[in-house]
C-alpha cells in the first residue's frame, strides 16, 4: 500500500493485525500492530527505553523459548527461531526497531509487545512460516512478570558491568594518591575554619573509605534485585504457565548472563512493588552523596591559584574562560557534582514511582527503569571521567600547604595539655590580634621555653594519637 500526506513523500506500508483489527505499519519496520498503535497514541517526550532494558527483554524471550520447548509448549524449530531472533535483540542489532518512548502504559506492555512482535517477525522470516508474537514468543508469560524481570536484568548488568568497575577504579586511584601523599602534613579544617593538622594521605583516605562503603551498599542492594519475577504471569499466581516455569527460566537467565539470578521469594511482591529498585537507587544516591562531597572538597582545596587555598593542583584540561586568559577551572569536579545532584533528584522520582504499586501491579515501570538506568549510566561515566581526567593527574602544592600550616593558630591545641585551655586560648588570641605565629605568641607570653615549644609545635607530631612528647 502507498500512503501520502500533502507535501510529504509516499511511504510504503504493509497491513498488520492485532485483536483490535488492522493497522498499517511501515513496510521496512519489523514491529507489528500493537507497536504501531503506541507510536500513534503516545506523542510524549523523546525519552527512549534504556539499551539495557531492551537487552533484558531479549534475554527473557530467549530463555522463555528454551523452557517452553522443554515443556513441549512450542515446537523446537519455533523455539530455535525465537532464540536466534532474541539474540539479535540482545546484541543490539535490532535497536532501530524499538521506537517507543517510555511515556506509555505504566506496565510497559507496549514495549513488551514491541519485543514480541520484532522477535516474531524475524523468527517467521527465518522459519518460513508464521510465528505468533503472543501465542509463541509470549507463551507462558505476561507483561506483568516479563517487564520487572527485564528491569532487574538491566539494572544488575549495568551496575556490575559499568558502575562497579568505574567506582572501584576511582577508589583505587584515590588510595594510591593517599599513599603517595601520606607524609605531607597539612592544615586541617572544620566548619570551614582552621583546625589541627593531618596529612594529605589521611584526608584522601576518608574519600577512599566513603567509596568502599558506597560500593558495599550497592552490592548489598543487588541481592534483592537479583530476584526475578518471571513465572508470576498476570498477578503473581502463574496462571497459564506450567509448574516451575519461572524457576526454569530464571536458571536459564542466570546461566546465560553468568549472574546469580534467583526466583523471587514472593512473585506477588515482585509484580506489585519495585522495592528492590527503590533500595538499589537509594544506594546509588548514597554513592552520589559521597561523590559530591569528594568533588566539593577538590574544588575547595584546589581553589586559587592565588586567591584560594591552592593546596591541590588539578590537570589543566581546557581553557576555563572565554574572557579571562589563563584561567583554568575544576571542570571534572563540576561535572561530577552535577551528576551527583541529578542522581539525588532521581532518587525522589524512583521513590515516588515505587510507591505507586496499586494492588497487584506497579504501573510506573517505564519511569522507574529509565531513571535507575540513567543514574547508573551517569554515575559510571562521570566517575570514570573524574578518575582519568582529574585524579590521575592530581598533585599537591607543597609550598602552599607549608605556608598555611606554619600560620595556623590551631597548632596551639598541642600546648593545651601543658599549659591548660585558657592559657592556650590566650596564646591564640594574641597571635591573631598581632599577626604572630603561635610560637611567637607563646614566647611573648612566656608560657614555655623555646626548646619545648619547638617540640610541642612540630606538626608531624600532631597527626596521630600517642605522638605527644
Active-site positions read 191, 321
- What are the grid coordinates assigned to 158, written together? 549495568
Q: Within a 13 Å sphere around the CA of 159, how many CA atoms are in the beta-carbon half?
A: 27
Dist CA 192 CA 187 (whole Å): 12
Would you say 60 and 261 are in contact if contact means Cβ atoms under 8 Å apart? no
DSSP symbols for 382-400:
HHHHHHHHTGGG-EE-HHH
Cα distances from 186 to residues 201, 306, 333, 405, in angstroms, run 10, 18, 22, 6
DSSP code at position 464: S
**Which H helix or E strand runs over 25?**
strand 21-26
Coil, helix or strand at residue 358: strand
Closest CA to 332 of 289, 287, 381: 381
Would you say 340 and 385 are in contact if contact means Cβ atoms under 8 Å apart? no
Give 36's strand partners. Answer: none
Dist CA 338 CA 344 (whole Å): 10
- What are the grid coordinates assigned to 85, written together? 531472533
State the pairing for strand pair 395-396/312-313.
antiparallel
Contacting residues for 4 by C-beta, under 8 A, at least 6 apart: 10, 11
Dist CA 215 CA 203 (whole Å): 19
Dist CA 86 CA 62 (whole Å): 5
Dist CA 212 CA 348 (whole Å): 24
Dist CA 438 CA 168 (whole Å): 42
Give 25's strand partners. Answer: 14
**Which H helix or E strand runs over 451?**
helix 450-456
Coil, helix or strand at residue 186: strand
- What are the grid coordinates assigned to 421, written together? 585551655
Amino acid at each position: 500500500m502507498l500512503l501520502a500526506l500533502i507535501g510529504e513523500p509516499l511511504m510504503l506500508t504493509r497491513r498488520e493485525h492485532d485483536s483490535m483489527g488492522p493497522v498499517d505499519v511501515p513496510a521496512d519496520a519489523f514491529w507489528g500492530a500493537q507497536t504501531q498503535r503506541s507510536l500513534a497514541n503516545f506523542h510524549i517526550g523523546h525519552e527512549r527505553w534504556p539499551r539495557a532494558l531492551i537487552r533484558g527483554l531479549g534475554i527473557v524471550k530467549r530463555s522463555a523459548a528454551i523452557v517452553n520447548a522443554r515443556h513441549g509448549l512450542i515446537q523446537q524449530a519455533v523455539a530455535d527461531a525465537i532464540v536466534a531472533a532474541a539474540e539479535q535483540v540482545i546484541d543490539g542489532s535490532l535497536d532501530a526497531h524499538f521506537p517507543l518512548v517510555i511515556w506509555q502504559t505504566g506496565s510497559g506492555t507496549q514495549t513488551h509487545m514491541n519485543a514480541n512482535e520484532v522477535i516474531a517477525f524475524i523468527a517467521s522470516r527465518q522459519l518460513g512460516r508464521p510465528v505468533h508474537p503472543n501465542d509463541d514468543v509470549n507463551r507462558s508469560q505476561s507483561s506483568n512478570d516479563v517487564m520487572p524481570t527485564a528491569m532487574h536484568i538491566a539494572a544488575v548488568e549495568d551496575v556490575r558491568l559499568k558502575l562497579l568497575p568505574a567506582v572501584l577504579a576511582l577508589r583505587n586511584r584515590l588510595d594510591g594518591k593517599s599513599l603517595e601523599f601520606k607524609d605531607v602534613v597539612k592544615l586541617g579544617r572544620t566548619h570551614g575554619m582552621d583546625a589541627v593538622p593531618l596529612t594529605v594521605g589521611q584526608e584522601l583516605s576518608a574519600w577512599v573509605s566513603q567509596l568502599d562503603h558506597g560500593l558495599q551498599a550497592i552490592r548489598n542492594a543487588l541481592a534483592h534485585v537479583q530476584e526475578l519475577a518471571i513465572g508470576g504471569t498476570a498477578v503473581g499466581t502463574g496462571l497459564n504457565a506450567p509448574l516451575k516455569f519461572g524457576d526454569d527460566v530464571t536458571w536459564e537467565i542466570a546461566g546465560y548472563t553468568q549472574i546469580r539470578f534467583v526466583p523471587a521469594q514472593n512473585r506477588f511482591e515482585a509484580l506489585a512493588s519495585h522495592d528492590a529498585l527503590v533500595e538499589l537507587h537509594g544506594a546509588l544516591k548514597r554513592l552520589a552523596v559521597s561523590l559530591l562531597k569528594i568533588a566539593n572538597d577538590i574544588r575547595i582545596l584546589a581553589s586559587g591559584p592565588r586567591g584560594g587555598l591552592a593546596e591541590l593542583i588539578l590537570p589543566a584540561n581546557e581553557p576555563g574562560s572565554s574572557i579571562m586568559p589563563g584561567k583554568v577551572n575544576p571542570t571534572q569536579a563540576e561535572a561530577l557534582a552535577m551528576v551527583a545532584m541529578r542522581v539525588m533528584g532521581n532518587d525522589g522520582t524512583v521513590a515516588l514511582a515505587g510507591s505507586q504499586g496499586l494492588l497487584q501491579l506497579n504501573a510506573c515501570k517505564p519511569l522507574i527503569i529509565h531513571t535507575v538506568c540513567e543514574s547508573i549510566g551517569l554515575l559510571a561515566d562521570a566517575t570514570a571521567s573524574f578518575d582519568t581526567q582529574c585524579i590521575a593527574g592530581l598533585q599537591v602544592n607543597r609550598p602552599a600547604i607549608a605556608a598555611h600550616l606554619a600560620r595556623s593558630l590551631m597548632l596551639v591545641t598541642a600546648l593545651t595539655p601543658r599549659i591548660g585551655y585558657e592559657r592556650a586560648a590566650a596564646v591564640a588570641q594574641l597571635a591573631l590580634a598581632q599577626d604572630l605565629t603561635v610560637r611567637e605568641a607563646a614566647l611573648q607570653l612566656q608560657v614555655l621555653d623555646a626548646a619545648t615549644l619547638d617540640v610541642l609545635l612540630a606538626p608531624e607530631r600532631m597527626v596521630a594519637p600517642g605522638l605527644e612528647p
